[in-house]
Structure 1
Amino acid sequence: MLFIAAAALISLAVIPVARGAQFNVTVGGPGVLRYNPQFVNAAPGDQVFFTFMQKNHTVTRSSFENPCSPLPQPDGFDSGFQPVADTDTTGPFPTALFVVPDTNPVWVYCRQANHCQQGMVFAINPGTQFAAFQAAAMALGSSSTAPPPAATASGAPSVVTVTATVTAGADTVTTTYGSYPGSAQPTAVSSNDHAIVVGGPGKLFYSPANITAQPGDTVTFHFMQKNHTTTQSSFAAPCRALAATSTNGQVGFDSGFMPVADNATSFPTYTIQINDTAPVWAYCRQATHCGQGMVFSVNAIESGPNNFEAFQALAKQLNGTGTSTSSGASPSKTSGASPQHLKSGAGALLGFAALVLGGVLL
């Protein structure tokens, strides 16, 4: 693996003849905290040229599990800070060269202040995992150490039927769906997938733990190290499966236990589909994980009493009462208004080992 940092563009005559393709990546710019493009798919021998624009950024290797922390030597690399004045609009601009050694994923971030936590990350050969990598980085910027307020369960608001007219191109469609008062309004015709990282070394939380999704969107859970689940519950009983507490026959979803070894290089996934705007509550039913705050929500109404912080606080107060153990039942089929389970399977290979020749200043 070759990584070269240069103070300015140099003649290609001093660089060994490239046998592979060349990818050009712009780093930052006026008011821009991102790499452009955010990821590339490259073959061994390909070259990735980073061009640093205005402000002061880095190209620093990290890992999928710790997106905003530098990967130690000998596998890590770091361009160092490359300051560019706002008034410099013509260059030449600092550059850095990375030669791709193999097809394994390479995870990168900017270590300037909180740029990584604002989503300034990059990847080479991420497979389907880039969205999860970026989501994990941004979740580090939204975490809080302040204890949540005490919470008590209150009555759930009633679902109301909404009729909406949606225009897609030349077609106009009238649709009806169930909506909770105070929930988000649908904003897009196309669906989105929301990547959620579950657990990891020393981590008992979902990242991010609280999202807003539209009907038709999917949520994909990426299970990391240890043994976790994603199990649907209710606000009033956060640490008990919905199937055990529902009074109207709801079964809810359950990923089942997803054991992942500490040295694993592939990670299982589990996907649900959002059917309406009603809040969705979930937890990890492994031992005392829920009682330690390992809960998750979709479309929690943050302006009301049944918000995410109250849900998590209630889980901690109940201390996981009623949770099952790791010998629990297999995944359950969706019923009623619960999100639809679409798929589960092994994720792309994420482990890698490479030789770094070091940063060479030209």
Structure 2
Amino acid sequence: MRFSVAAAATALVGSAIAADHLVVVGNGSLTFEPNNVQAAEGDTVTFKFWPKNHSVAQSTFANPCEPMSNGFWSGYVPSTSGAATETFMVEVTNASAPIWFYCTQGQHCTSGMAGAINAPSSGNTADAFIEAAKQADNIAEPASTAGTGGMLMNGTMSSTASGSASTASSTGAASSVNVNGGVVFTGMMGMFAYLLM
């Protein structure tokens, strides 16, 4: 009996731990690296910005350089040297739906500065999305407020953005990160207390 409860508690703790995936934005080139992140539901993706002034905005496969209605947008994150102290984090709420994104600065998107989270390996791939971005007629900036649909961070968790990014993207990630941390702590304490019985 003890083993099955301990195994269940361990499974609960393991399922509550989410991964964070780093995407480097414009480190000496007009790219997102990696340009396709494979993330599980509950994972977060953190965009780290390099010179000079980039952004990340959610789009759709059909319109790669135009903002998706109710999608996320970091706003412009400038840096003169090295990585900016400010980052932008989104949470993956549906791992089976690809999330498409691009940089709204100047002609960056049509230069291929686009990427995806959970793009499929055939059909509408990340490479196909980037090629479509290079063929786009125009680049549009979101009308939403900078920081919408994710969380802007400046060294520490400093400002949570509100809003959601429709069916395929992210919500303000601060609450989910805190909830996951609480579940992990509670699950570990429960398992520890049980094993001491």
> TM-score of the superposition, structure 2-length normalised?
0.68
* 1:64-105 deviation line (CA, Å, top 9, x unaligned): xxxxxxxxxxxxxxxxxxxxxxxxxxxxxxxxxxxxxxxxxx
Question: Max radius of gyration: which structure?
Answer: 1
Equivalent residue, structure 2, for 1:146: none
Equivalent residue, structure 1, for 2:75: 256
Q: Could you say which structure has the higher helix fraction?
A: 2
Matches within 5 A, 1:154-233: 169-170=7-8, 189=15, 190-201=17-28, 203-233=29-59
CA distance in 2, matches of 1:172, 1:224: 39
Runs of at least 4 residues off by over 6 Å = none
CA distance in 1, matches of 2:6, 2:126: 33
CA distance in 2, matches of 1:292, 1:257: 18
Equivalent residue, structure 1, for 2:133: 315
Equivalent residue, structure 1, for 2:141: 324
> Pairwise CA RMSD of aligned residues?
2.6
Quote the offset at 1:200 in angstroms. 2.5
- Name which of 284, 303, 307 aligns with 2:103: 284
Q: Could you say which structure has the higher strand fraction?
A: 1
Could you tell me whether the CA contact under 8 Å between 1:287 and 1:324 is conserved in 2? no
Distance change (3 Å), C-alpha of 1:318 and 1:193: same
Check if 1:336 corresponds to 2:194.
no
Percent identity among equivalent residues? Answer: 36
Distance change (3 Å), C-alpha of 1:329 and 1:212: same
CA distance in 1, matches of 2:91, 2:20: 9
* 1:122-161 deviation line (CA, Å, top 9, x unaligned): xxxxxxxxxxxxxxxxxxxxxxxxxxxxxxxxxxxxxxxx
Could you tell me whether the CA contact under 8 Å between 1:196 and 1:221 is conserved in 2? yes
Quote the offset at 1:318 in angstroms. 1.2
Distance change (3 Å), C-alpha of 1:329 and 1:339: closer
Equivalent residue, structure 2, for 1:234: 60
Distance change (3 Å), C-alpha of 1:226 and 1:216: same
* 1:177-230 deviation line (CA, Å, top 9, x unaligned): xxxxxxxxxxx72311101111133x1111111111100101011111111111
Distance change (3 Å), C-alpha of 1:272 and 1:317: same
CA distance in 1, matches of 2:98, 2:73: 16
> TM-score of the superposition, structure 1-length normalised?
0.38
Could you tell me whether the CA contact under 8 Å between 2:22 and 2:46 is conserved in 1? yes
Could you tell me whether the CA contact under 8 Å between 1:200 and 1:226 is conserved in 2? no
CA distance in 2, matches of 1:204, 1:168: 49
- Report the count of equivalent residues: 151
Ranges in structure 2 where 5+ consecutive residues have no aligned partner: 149-162, 175-197
Distance change (3 Å), C-alpha of 1:318 and 1:225: same
Could you tell me whether the CA contact under 8 Å between 1:223 and 1:268 is conserved in 2? yes
Ranges in structure 1 where 5+ consecutive residues have no aligned partner: 1-166, 174-187, 244-250, 344-362
Quote the offset at 1:169 in angstroms. 3.0
Could you tell me whether the CA contact under 8 Å between 1:287 and 1:323 is conserved in 2? no
Equivalent residue, structure 1, for 2:124: 306
CA distance in 2, matches of 1:266, 1:257: 11
